[in-house]
């Protein structure tokens, strides 16, 4: 599936390295526009300010210079309005409005044909979600999954295949996805969660999880289960997770937390230790979280010396982190 989840490290104001499963790639550019080169070839990624949307285009060597010079969101290649249907014209107009930074006008175009074209519904729902119009966004996305619509549609392949949506999985992790079924499910689950409809979010992701193996999906489910104190479900969901990136690292943290809640402190400490084995290219915040909860398990097992050492390290890095100041004082 066209899911990309990378760790981005800044090496300077306009230079970054992205570390993903396909290897390292390097980006250079100004805010909102980047040229990337790596094992999968050369790409230009251009973001639309304030929308969370971006376009990614793969370049060949002959066209690389001209593409970078004109790095902008792709405008439709349709030869003339008469050569396209009214539905397609609305999608083209919406994309061109986004190209010009006019999200409000783009939303209007996408909404006009959202009932007839899933790609337009996804784009409209995403823009509505950015405006906290959750109910309206949900109403657009539900029919896509309920009716088992095949996506991407031919129009999506033609016009939106390079569009990427940034979707928050947890407060610590976001994923950049193509406008596909997984993106629809994760966005819809996020909207349900924002509307305090957690049961609906869980039911939706459980159904998708039976057919799709994706680490962001596992993490999203673990977070939702934990919020409902469904610790057995967290364990069942996360037990096969391997420490591969920030997504799986946070999943392992939830796995360890579930072990703690079940009273299995040694097992929890072992999970956190596994999570902490790989520190390179991992979020310092997530590593600190794993260290904190391992220290909690040590303390609960009566291993005060180990707990005190861990809490001291955290306190040295961030004295305001959780309750480490109080724990260091008491221990």
* Omega before residue 152 within 30° of 0, cis: yes
Q: Pick the range with the lowest mean pLDDT from 31-45, 232-246, 255-269.
A: 31-45
Whether residue 181 is found in the same domain as residue 281:
no
Whether residue 176 is found in the same domain as residue 270:
no
Q: Which residue has the tokens 């031919």?
A: 154
Domain count, the chain: 3
pLDDT digits 0-9 by tens, 62-106: 443 333 333 334 445 444 445 789 999 999 999 888 888 889 999
Whether residue 140 is found in the same domain as residue 249:
no
Whether residue 109 is found in the same domain as residue 218:
yes
Whether residue 236 is found in the same domain as residue 255:
yes
Identify whether 184 is part of a domain.
yes
Residue 328 has pLDDT above 90, yes or no: yes
Q: What is the CATH number of the domain that holds 273?
A: 1.25.40.10
pLDDT digits 0-9 by tens, 105-118: 999 999 999 999 99
Identify whether 78 is part of a domain.
no
Residue 13 has pLDDT above 90, yes or no: no
Whether residue 96 is found in the same domain as residue 221:
yes
| Cα angle 325-327-331, degrees, rounded to a multiple of 5 | 125
* Crossing angle between the packed helical segments 215-227 and 246-261, to the nearest 10 degrees: 30
Whether residue 236 is found in the same domain as residue 211:
no
- Chain centroid to Cα 29, Å, comes to 22
pLDDT digits 0-9 by tens, 141-181: 999 988 877 888 899 989 888 888 888 889 888 888 888 88
Whether residue 192 is found in the same domain as residue 236:
no
Q: Look up the domain containing 61 and give its range.
A: 1-72
Q: Which residue has the tokens 């986004």?
A: 98
Residue 49 has what pLDDT? 53
Whether residue 106 is found in the same domain as residue 131:
yes
Whether residue 220 is found in the same domain as residue 233:
no
C-alpha distance from residue 253 to each of 14, 103, 207, 250, 285 (Å) = 32, 37, 24, 5, 12
Identify whether 56 is part of a domain.
yes
Residue 58 has what pLDDT? 52
Residue 51 has what pLDDT? 56
pLDDT digits 0-9 by tens, 19-65: 334 333 333 333 333 333 344 454 444 455 555 555 554 545 444 33
Whether residue 42 is found in the same domain as residue 122:
no
| Confidence category of residue 292, pLDDT binned at 50, 70, 90 | very high
Residue 93 has what pLDDT? 93
Whether residue 263 is found in the same domain as residue 286:
yes
């Amino acid at each position: 599936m066209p899911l990309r989840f990378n760790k981005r490290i800044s090496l300077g104001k306009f230079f970054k390295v992205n570390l993903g499963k396909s290897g390292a790639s390097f980006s250079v550019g100004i805010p909102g526009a980047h040229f990337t080169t790596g094992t999968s070839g050369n790409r230009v990624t251009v973001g639309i300010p304030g929308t969370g949307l971006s376009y990614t285009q793969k370049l060949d060597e002959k066209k690389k210079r001209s593409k970078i010079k004109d790095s902008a969101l792709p405008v439709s290649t349709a030869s003339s309005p008469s050569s396209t249907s009214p539905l397609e014209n609305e999608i083209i107009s919406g994309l061109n409005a986004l190209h010009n930074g006019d999200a409000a006008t783009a939303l209007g175009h996408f909404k006009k044909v959202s009932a007839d074209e899933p790609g337009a519904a996804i784009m409209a729902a995403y823009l509505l979600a950015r405006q906290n119009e959750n109910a309206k966004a949900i109403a657009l996305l539900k029919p896509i999954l309920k009716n088992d619509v095949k996506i991407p549609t031919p129009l999506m392949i033609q016009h939106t295949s390079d569009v990427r949506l940034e979707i928050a999985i947890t407060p610590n992790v976001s994923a950049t996805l193509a406008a596909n079924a997984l993106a629809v499910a994760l966005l819809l689950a996020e909207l349900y969660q924002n509307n305090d409809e957690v049961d609906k979010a869980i039911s939706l992701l459980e159904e998708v999880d039976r057919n799709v193996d994706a680490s962001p999906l596992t993490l999203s489910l673990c977070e939702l289960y934990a919020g409902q104190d469904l610790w057995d479900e967290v364990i069942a969901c996360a037990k096969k997770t391997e420490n591969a990136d920030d997504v799986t690292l946070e999943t392992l943290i939830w796995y360890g937390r579930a072990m703690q809640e079940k009273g299995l402190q040694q097992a929890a400490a072992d999970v956190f230790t596994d999570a902490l084995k790989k520190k390179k290219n991992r979020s310092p915040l997530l590593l600190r979280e794993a260290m904190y909860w391992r220290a909690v398990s040590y303390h609960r097992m009566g291993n005060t010396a180990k707990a005190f050492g861990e809490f001291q390290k955290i306190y040295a890095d961030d004295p305001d982190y959780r309750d480490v100041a109080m724990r260091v004082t008491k221990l």
